[in-house]
């Protein structure tokens, strides 16, 4: 979902559902979360590996010599690497990829480069490297590896897709995503169309070539340019899909890969959205149980169950739908139902944000002050104090809508699916279902499809899952580990999104040992 990671981050660049409709699209069975996958899902084709030899047309890209320069951030160097816009036609032009590194500090023998990606899709890997991974990863890992990040094509510093300007994004993020009637549904569709048209106008050629497969192929070029025989990599959330795709395409070049907060690449988008909706409900239930034990919980006192706490929150959202509350925002924004929902969603990524969420809900529900929830929503959307947005939401939609066919093709399909989504989450289900409609209006057709990733012949790969992860449900980690031929599943029994670097010595020790020695965790290893 999200960008500037700290050891106790309130959000990770990981998965984004929101109005950008995380994990986009698809058309799966309407089965409820937790049930077995449909036969169609089980028959998803396997991603085929690419030939081991580099095609002659791509050789110049693989033989580039990087020219490193100062980044303006102490200790980091930057360069650009070119990749073909279209791998099927390398003569069609290039994409310039931004790359940053922090060289291994020593002591100890250098182990090569360690690429990192925080997810999204759309999170800046370079921003993540400079703000967290390059300075916050364990010292023993940074001593042995050059810490490296490449912003994927269309993201941040790598020819970013920009769909709307700041004021337009303000309007977009305030659009009602729980329409009460046909007029409101038409307004939501109009917002999705405007967003999609903006993306198409901004990057008509690039928009056809920002898929995860292409980003994975770009990483192989970067690997070669860095002089590494194999790719070593830590990816979070969507970054697990990117890393697994790399392993599937280049199993013989996959080195030590950590896939933390894993996605299941075999599922179509409607199923992904539905299961993620259930994941957020699991996280909200954990938050609600904790909240009602606190003296300042605005959703109920001791003895209030999670179901009633959810009803109280839904009633608050409904009130905002009719009458938004003031926030003191310099641009005059008030707290709408959509912004309040995203504020709550943002806090679900890390239990360390629960106190802040309680305080923000109390202020909004009892003091008519929506500033706290607005600030949480702004952090989710990466909106700065000047009203400008990072390209996170634009890139998120651009990648998702290309990777999978749309979850829904029309408002009527959303309405038909609402019972399943509301069963998955009485609090978030309705809004999340409507949010998954955005790819229906995308200006280019999807080029990807659900695929199993087996990566036959790859070295051991560590897949990490958190049992109460809101954005990437634990079942997805089990599914990915079951697909990858050489995977070891490492389980964190706890809350929050992703596990590495979030306070579990057991998790961190297991991953550090794997990165430094190549020894994966024991089968079935669980941490708490």
Which residues are known catalytic residues? 237, 469, 497
For residue 297, what are the CA distances in angstroms to 307, 351, 513?
15, 15, 41
Three-point CA angle 340, 346, 351, nearest 5°: 120
- CB contact at 8 A, 122 and 164: no
Phi, psi of 204 (to 5 degrees): -60, -35
The crossing angle, in degrees rounded to 10, of helices 337-347 and 371-381 is: 70
Residue 312's alpha-carbon distances to 5, 343, 380, 470, in angstroms, are 31, 16, 23, 20
Q: DSSP states of 65-84 as a string? A: ----EE-SSTT-EEEEEEEE
Return the sign of the alpha-carbon dihedral for residues 240, 243, 248, 252: negative
SS (H, E, C) 277-315: HHHHHHHHHHHHHHHCCCCCCCCCCCCCCHHHHHHHHHH
* SS3 assignment for 232-264: EEEEECHHHHHHHHHHHHCHHHEEEEEEECCCC
Q: How many CB atoms lie within 10 A of CB 68?
A: 13
* Cα-to-chain-centroid distance, residue 102: 24
Pairwise CA distance, residues 246 & 258, whole Å: 12
CA-wise closest residue to 361 among 309, 400, 285, 412: 309
Rg of the chain over Cα atoms, rounded to whole angstroms, equals 22
For residue 100, what is the DSSP state? E
Cα(497)–Cα(1) distance, integer angstroms? 9
Residue 82, strand partner residues: 96
d(CA 4, CA 422): 32
CA distance 258 to 514: 9
Say how far apart CA 358 and CA 261 lie, in whole Å: 25
Helix spans in 9-95 (H): 39-42, 59-62
């Amino acid at each position: 979902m999200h960008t500037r990671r700290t050891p106790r981050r309130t959000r990770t660049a990981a998965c984004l559902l929101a109005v950008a409709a995380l994990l986009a699209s698809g058309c799966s069975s309407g089965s409820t979360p937790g049930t077995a996958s449909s036969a169609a899902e089980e028959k998803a084709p396997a991603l085929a590996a690419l030939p081991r030899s580099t095609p002659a047309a791509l050789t110049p890209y693989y033989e580039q010599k990087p020219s490193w320069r100062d980044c303006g951030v102490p200790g980091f160097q930057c360069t650009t690497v070119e990749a073909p816009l279209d791998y099927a036609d390398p003569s069609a032009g290039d994409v310039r990829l931004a790359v940053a590194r922090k060289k291994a500090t020593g002591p100890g023998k250098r182990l090569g480069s360690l690429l990192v990606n925080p997810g999204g899709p759309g999170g800046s890997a370079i921003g993540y490297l400079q703000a967290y991974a390059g300075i916050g990863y364990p010292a023993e890992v940074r001593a042995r590896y050059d810490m490296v990040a490449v912003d994927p094509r269309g993201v941040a510093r790598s020819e970013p897709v920009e769909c709307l300007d700041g004021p337009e994004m303000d309007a977009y993020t305030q659009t009602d995503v729980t329409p009460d009637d046909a007029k409101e549904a038409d307004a939501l569709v109009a917002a999705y169309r405007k967003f999609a048209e903006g993306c198409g106008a901004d990057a008509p050629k690039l928009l056809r070539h920002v898929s995860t497969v292409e980003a994975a192929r770009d990483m192989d070029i970067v690997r070669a340019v860095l002089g590494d025989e194999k790719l070593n990599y830590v990816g979070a959330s969507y970054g697990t899909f990117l890393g697994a795709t790399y392993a599937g395409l280049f199993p013989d070049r996959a080195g030590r890969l950590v896939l933390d907060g894993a996605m299941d690449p075999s599922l179509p988008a409607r199923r992904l959205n539905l299961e993620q909706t259930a994941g957020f409900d699991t996280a909200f239930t954990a938050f609600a149980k904790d909240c009602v034990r606190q003296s300042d919980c605005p959703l109920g006192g001791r003895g209030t169950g999670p179901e009633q706490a959810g009803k109280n929150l839904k009633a608050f959202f409904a009130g905002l739908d009719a009458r938004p509350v003031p926030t003191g925002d310099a641009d005059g924004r008030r707290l709408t139902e959509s912004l309040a929902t995203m504020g709550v969603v943002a806090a679900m990524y890390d239990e360390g944000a629960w106190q802040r969420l309680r305080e923000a809900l109390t202020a909004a529900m009892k003091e008519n002050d929506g500033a706290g929830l607005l600030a949480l929503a702004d952090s989710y959307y990466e909106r700065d104090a000047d009203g400008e947005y990072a390209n996170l939401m634009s890139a998120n939609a651009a990648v998702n809508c290309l990777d999978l066919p749309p979850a829904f093709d029309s408002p009527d399909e959303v309405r038909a699916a609402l019972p399943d989504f509301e069963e998955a989450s009485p609090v978030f289900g309705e809004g999340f279902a409507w949010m998954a409609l955005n790819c229906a209006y995308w200006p280019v057709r999807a080029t990807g499809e659900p695929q199993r990733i087996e990566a036959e012949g790859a070295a051991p790969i560590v897949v990490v899952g958190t049992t109460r992860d809101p954005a990437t449900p634990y079942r997805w980690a089990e599914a990915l580990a079951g697909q990858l031929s050489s995977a070891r599943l490492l389980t964190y029994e706890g809350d929050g999104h992703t596990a590495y670097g979030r306070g579990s010595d057991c998790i961190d020790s297991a991953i550090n040992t794997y990165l430094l020695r190549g020894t994966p965790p024991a089968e079935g290893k669980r941490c708490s």
